[in-house]
Structure 1
């Protein structure tokens, strides 16, 4: 009787679901809209994407919530921002609450067949169980073809042809085998057939490398065309709404991993068949909208489109249908650790202006990340920087960042002119500062806890729920001291030194991080207090202070402490220490320690990668000295 009832309910659901639209997601990797034809790039060759835009709706203000793949995909699949779940650090493994599900699970409850081909990378603990619940099938062969007859589908196809591995990181020979050789001769884009972004040195070697972006996107466009032909062949185009977008910004130096527009903004197109054009709130085919959308909006939109009830924990907008939410005036975006390169940037954008606060400004935009450092283009850029072949703009990305930036991307698409110090923009700057402070405080951003702390929290509960307990996580106090980071003055330094005695360890941590930006002259009068702080019982504080003391005073005690933590069994502490050493001037005392750490059998990828970057810096210095001589 129970089996009969189940069969009846399943049959009813499928029959009822026949009137629902199929939904196809076409996702690509590491691509900014500046490199796609329909977004105004006349040098790009993207006819398939351009045709989707011509027949669909093109979004000019669509944003990833992160700047590297796994944090972005964490928000995409759950609909919850990483700064609430603790999933902002690339390829971490922290638990999320049981009540947070992959949104395709809700679509299944509405009778949909869900398939994913093939990338997951959701950046959470117990990912296999999470995937199994979300997808009817997730594999390299998954498609709509696995569904029951007349069952609506939600199918994702992810194309890796524009991934950073193709555009820069892997060797040129690898790129030739995996991209260039797959392009027909007429599709290949020559090294002199495009304009270079102004923050790159326009040389033949740089052009050879940058042409990889255009050719990789061209191959991606071809692959999308092949998928759409399959959709047509199966007679499904007339019943399918198509979404096209990239997972974050361009996989080139200064794009992906950076909390600026070039890291966040993505191409985004929605195509409606005639049958469902009435669902579009943005007008007819070929329309362009400047409505602000982010990846936080995708889950609630899909659930509502499928006919489901959006759960309370989802705060993104519903973009389509009778339950459509009111448009937003601005978005909060975030950028955190990418591989072995820790960072913390929070961004507010209204589409035209992008305001970013750098909470670790002592590191440059071109911070050391192994997957970027192995690329030939990065090696050329660093060599040209050492040899003083770059102009002021091109040099800037190798130097410490300002603690805040404001760009007018409508008139400065490559973000070359920081308007923070332009008095004409004071009102806009003040407004966006306040917006960022308000939104971050409302979110109770858990990623202001060092990754070491998030690891400790995750042993007993989820970071998502922990952040809501003000007794355990006094976020107002933490944010107040973190907001001092990057402000350079004796007055600020005095306040930070005072906060090194706070009862709260995360407050002390941010006081120490802020002191990283103070100069030696300012710190001289606080040397004795810094020496005391070397003995802080909270390792992230002791490590950070040790880096400050070593850089400015070169004491034996600070050197030994840093060597000790390089070898820590806790990978978060080891990585934090090695990352600081990447940016100190005197690296000589640590060379042998780093070599030994790299060869230790229990080191994870990020720690080994940090070691490789440290040793690589020394090789670059030696090679440059030989060239100059």
Structure 2
């Protein structure tokens, strides 16, 4: 090749023209040899509400037709239970707990070598477009997005490619999002969902079965009908995109993926570390010329192979002829060379908006095991984006009036340390098998597998967010976690693994760790104390109070919360109030979040009011304040 510095401008221009002509002349060959790929992604939807997954009340003919002639996945899982964390894994092929992207909209930096996977498709000559959601949950998101896509906008699509150039195009449909199914007002839903469906398309309030964890009343049916109609409108939108593809004569050369970004956007599903939060509908349709790329065949095939979102990036890179980067650990599950099926996959739930949490789960497709590290908060924990929904208001009203059965009430109570559900025979997860001796062997095996994977991945999200933010000022959490001297994952997890365990033995072991030289070990020791009863930790009162002035703020605020909750200690309440007013948003959120689950709230009303009024207050802190003030009977409009 000629060296550019010896070329005249005219010679360079001629060469550029020749290269373009060469690309265009081979475009048809490229298009024939490599498939076009269309992704139709939807939001906040569980397979239990899709027709081809067995729901006879659903009206999803477009999705069902894809499944009828394609491949339907029974065991497809989002790696998180909220959009931003899920999408960070989708776009990078890296788990959130390795990259540090599990907390919703935390925006920590990631290494420069980690690219949005469409970048690698571009290197193979593909035109890549995104229409149009990103929400990748990383720092420098605009730069990252521009590098990944040729175009990412609500006008992007395959039609802007060169003639014959293969494409990868994403269309994200928002009509099933939580905003439609529960959060926006009922009037908004009527205008933006119901009125966009014909009378024949609408699902009436008496035309479906209610999940057993909801009270079956006319009021609840009114709210829950929103789920079915929002999914119906989504199905209509899918049909429009597929007809568009056909009109451009591209259907017979395009592999179509359909899936949701995580579980249903309703209480107990989204934001919860159980199957209802993780499992997603997932269908792949192959045209005749690319049937050979399906390991399972086509034509209504159902596979129970395990896949999760870390598998998508390597699979797409492989399908388009690229080389999968070493940092991507997912398996290629479609194409001429597929990896062996996984026996287990690890899943995770962390903070969602103002709802702090940490859950790690593992599944083999038949059973799902979840470990709750902060179980003093219920499944239906306070998250303002949920709380403002009519269905949430109705549920809390019914709970307060004693209208709920034992199963329905349980989602308002503290969680157990562990869940084990048979998700093949108990799709709504109504029976926790942890204490059933018949399933003891399965429980022990899944416990062991989960711990092995947490340690193997060096799960960086076992650091408090305060620490994550501090690390991110100078380096990436992804790279920090690989330094064993600074991130002693075994030592940290040994302390964290006690958190959530209740009883004298766990409390005794936690007490021994309260004075550990490792600040993260101390953090997990005192965090574990929050799930213990006052009676259980009474003997350790002085040890707990001794940490109220700990040099590490996450330890100090947690110790204050434990002492305030269990002992109603005056100095602890002062410290907790001061922490609410912290200029550090992570400390302020921790403090206000603890108050949401403390019985005595009256002493903190004025403090929380003042925190809410702080100019330019962090959104998560502000949301937590709204929840607190609502609990004590105040509306933010009143002050």
1:386-439: CA deviation from partner (whole Å, max 9, x where unpaired)? 111100000000000011100001110000000000000011000000000001
Residue 263 (structure 1) aligned with residue 263 (structure 2): no
Residue 293 (structure 1) aligned with residue 307 (structure 2): yes
1:589 equivalent in structure 2: 603
2:158 equivalent in structure 1: 144
1:563 equivalent in structure 2: 577
Alignment equivalent of 2:41, drawn from 23, 27, 38:
27
1:416-473: CA deviation from partner (whole Å, max 9, x where unpaired)? 0000000000110000000000011000000000001000000010000000111101
Alignment equivalent of 1:360, drawn from 362, 374, 387:
374
- Range moving further from structure 2, 315-324 or 535-544: 315-324
CA distance in 1, matches of 2:212, 2:421: 15
What is the DSSP-based 3-state SS (H/G/I as helix, E as strand, rest coil) of the residue aligned with 1:291?
strand
Kindly state the Cα deviation for residue 17 of structure 1 after the two structures are TM-superposed: 2.5
Q: Structure 1 regions of 5+ residues with no counterpart?
A: 622-629
CA distance in 2, matches of 1:100, 1:574: 32
> Within 5 A, what are the aligned runs for 1:86-485?
86-485=100-499
Residue 539 (structure 1) aligned with residue 553 (structure 2): yes
1:13-32: CA deviation from partner (whole Å, max 9, x where unpaired)? 56263221100000000000
2:3 equivalent in structure 1: none
CA distance in 1, matches of 2:77, 2:504: 38
Please report the RMSD computed on the Cα atoms of aligned residues, expressed in angstroms: 1.2
Residues 254 and 504 (structure 1 numbering): CA distance in 2 closer, same or farther, change over 3 Å?
Answer: same
Kindly state the Cα deviation for residue 179 of structure 1 after the two structures are TM-superposed: 0.2
1:208-233: CA deviation from partner (whole Å, max 9, x where unpaired)? 00000000000000000011111000
- Range moving further from structure 2, 524-533 or 257-266: 524-533
Residues 6 and 432 (structure 1 numbering): CA distance in 2 closer, same or farther, change over 3 Å?
Answer: farther
What is the DSSP-based 3-state SS (H/G/I as helix, E as strand, rest coil) of the residue aligned with 1:269?
strand
CA distance in 1, matches of 2:315, 2:98: 20
Kindly state the Cα deviation for residue 12 of structure 1 after the two structures are TM-superposed: 4.5
> Within 5 A, what are the aligned runs for 1:31-70?
31-70=45-84
- Range moving further from structure 2, 463-472 or 494-503: 494-503
Alignment equivalent of 2:30, drawn from 7, 17, 29:
17
Kindly state the Cα deviation for residue 497 of structure 1 after the two structures are TM-superposed: 1.5
Residues 554 and 195 (structure 1 numbering): CA distance in 2 closer, same or farther, change over 3 Å?
Answer: same
1:530 equivalent in structure 2: 544
- Range moving further from structure 2, 507-516 or 612-621: 612-621
Count of matched residue positions in the alignment of Structure 1 and Structure 2: 621
CA distance in 2, matches of 1:582, 1:3: 66
Normalising by structure 2, what TM-score? Answer: 0.96
What is the DSSP-based 3-state SS (H/G/I as helix, E as strand, rest coil) of the residue aligned with 1:304?
helix
What is the DSSP-based 3-state SS (H/G/I as helix, E as strand, rest coil) of the residue aligned with 1:52?
helix
CA distance in 2, matches of 1:86, 1:461: 12
Kindly state the Cα deviation for residue 2 of structure 1 after the two structures are TM-superposed: 4.4
1:121-167: CA deviation from partner (whole Å, max 9, x where unpaired)? 00000000001001101101111011011100000000000000000
Normalising by structure 1, what TM-score? Answer: 0.97
Q: Structure 2 regions of 5+ residues with no counterpart?
A: 1-10
CA distance in 2, matches of 1:553, 1:6: 76
CA distance in 1, matches of 2:350, 2:535: 30
CA distance in 2, matches of 1:259, 1:490: 27
Residues 10 and 332 (structure 1 numbering): CA distance in 2 closer, same or farther, change over 3 Å?
Answer: farther
Kindly state the Cα deviation for residue 4 of structure 1 after the two structures are TM-superposed: 4.6
What is the DSSP-based 3-state SS (H/G/I as helix, E as strand, rest coil) of the residue aligned with 2:608?
helix
1:256-292: CA deviation from partner (whole Å, max 9, x where unpaired)? 0000000000000000000101111012211110010
Asked whether the equivalents of residues 46 and 281 of structure 2 are also in contact (C-alpha less than 8 Å), the reply is yes
Asked whether the equivalents of residues 17 and 112 of structure 1 are also in contact (C-alpha less than 8 Å), the reply is no
2:7 equivalent in structure 1: none
Kindly state the Cα deviation for residue 491 of structure 1 after the two structures are TM-superposed: 2.2
Kindly state the Cα deviation for residue 488 of structure 1 after the two structures are TM-superposed: 1.4
What is the DSSP-based 3-state SS (H/G/I as helix, E as strand, rest coil) of the residue aligned with 1:526?
helix
Asked whether the equivalents of residues 383 and 620 of structure 1 are also in contact (C-alpha less than 8 Å), the reply is no
- Range moving further from structure 2, 317-326 or 58-67: 317-326
Asked whether the equivalents of residues 526 and 544 of structure 2 are also in contact (C-alpha less than 8 Å), the reply is no
1:626 equivalent in structure 2: none
Asked whether the equivalents of residues 58 and 288 of structure 1 are also in contact (C-alpha less than 8 Å), the reply is yes
What is the DSSP-based 3-state SS (H/G/I as helix, E as strand, rest coil) of the residue aligned with 1:255?
coil
Residues 76 and 429 (structure 1 numbering): CA distance in 2 closer, same or farther, change over 3 Å?
Answer: same
1:497 equivalent in structure 2: 511
CA distance in 1, matches of 2:539, 2:490: 29
